[in-house]
Amino acid sequence: MGTRTRGFANNISSPGGVFDATDLNGVVPATNIANSSLTNVTEVSPSLGYAVSSVASDPPAPDTGQMWYNTTSNVLKFLGTTTAGAWASGENLGTARRLIAGAGTQTSALGFGGYTTTALANTEEYDGTSWTAGGNLGTARQGPGGCGTQTSALAFGGEIALPTAVTEEYDGTSWTSGGNLGTARYSLGGAGTQTSALAFGGETTVVIVNTEEYDGTSWTSGGNLATARKSLAGAGTQTSALAFGGFVPPPQSVTEEYDGTSWTSGGSLTTARRSLGGAGTQTSALAFGGEAPPGNTNQSATEAYNGTSWTADTSMSTARRDLAGCGTQTSALAFGGRTTVNLANTEEFTGAGAPVTRTVTGS
């Protein structure tokens, strides 16, 4: 067994020199343990990496890279990452509609405004399982901008019979008036939070480049987009935003990045499109759905942005345009929109890189 550095002699059983690790509370050099085994070992130092443990059920919160043997199902498993994203069906909106705005996360989302045969004030809240009615907007409208969270959201602009500058703030129960946009518009992009928001692009009677910044009370002018467009998507924060897609005409692949002062060019979308959904941040965004040529075709295409370029990911189940999106690149939500009819469909995206339990199989 070698020279002992602790008084473990009474814990060494015979025959075989088996060591009981429940009494091992000191540091023993590896060279001092040879040709023996350890029992009752429940944890290995992280510096040694993960040991393969035998468990009756999968660990409730494993770390990425951790491996274990499930003695119930008799399989070897590990927590890895997805190689591609996947869309799954969620619960339908209570009211099918297009030109709806969204805010929040995949499991705590908000959908508001939109259009059926008239502009809507309806607000709905999603908990990751189902939609329930929230407080109505004070001003019914289609094509508003939106940002924030389910309990602290912002709705701005949109169209009633004419473009509006109205801004409203949601507290999780009801909407109250905020400061009006400097330029009334609809089909605009949005990013940020209720107290630090960004509005960009859209249409008045013409497509515009205007950017405005909101501080929770009032809007002030920011740096203009390089490319005027409406029906575009947005992601990120007021000082680190992303604007992508849209319509001038024609449908655009243009991506622009905002640093709190000015917009600069980013990598172009693979598929030029308008009326698309978006989620994520400036350096980790998701674009999905929309409408593209030829023939103004509804899109199901999904693309992921890494801060430099867009790459194709798994397509949505339902091709559509005029939809809303929210969440992150690896945990996004798409809802509403239209094909030839208004839709209530909700889809949930689990993106590439998201942890997932995998089973080791033979080749």
Per-residue pLDDT of the chain (363 residues; tens, 9 = 90+): 454 444 544 554 545 555 454 444 555 555 554 444 445 555 555 555 556 888 998 888 787 778 889 999 888 877 766 567 899 999 999 999 999 999 999 999 999 999 999 999 999 999 999 999 999 999 999 999 999 999 999 999 999 999 999 999 999 999 999 999 999 999 999 999 999 999 999 999 999 999 999 999 999 999 999 999 999 999 999 999 999 999 999 999 999 999 999 999 999 999 999 999 999 999 999 999 999 998 889 999 999 999 999 999 999 999 999 999 999 999 999 999 999 999 999 999 998 666 667 777 664
- Which candidate, 92, 62, 98, places its Cα nearest to that of 77? 62
pLDDT at 353: 63
pTM for the model: 0.77
What one-character-per-residue DSSP string does 298-352 give? EB--EEEE-SS-EEEEPPPSS-BBS-EEEE-SSEEEEE--BSSSB---EEEEE-T
CATH superfamily placement of domain 86-350: Kelch-type beta propeller (2.120.10.80)
Provide the pLDDT for residue 279: 98
Q: Note the pLDDT of residue 11.
A: 52
Among 360, 329, 361, 330, smallest CA distance to 66 is for 360
Tokens of 143: 């094509």
Q: What is the structure's pLDDT at 77?
A: 77
What is the number of other CB atoms lying within 10 angstroms of the CB of residue 263? Answer: 21
Using DSSP's 3-state secondary structure scheme, residue 222 falls into coil
What count of other Cβ atoms lies within 10 Å of the Cβ of residue 138?
14
Q: Residue ranges of the domains in the chain? A: 1-42, 86-350
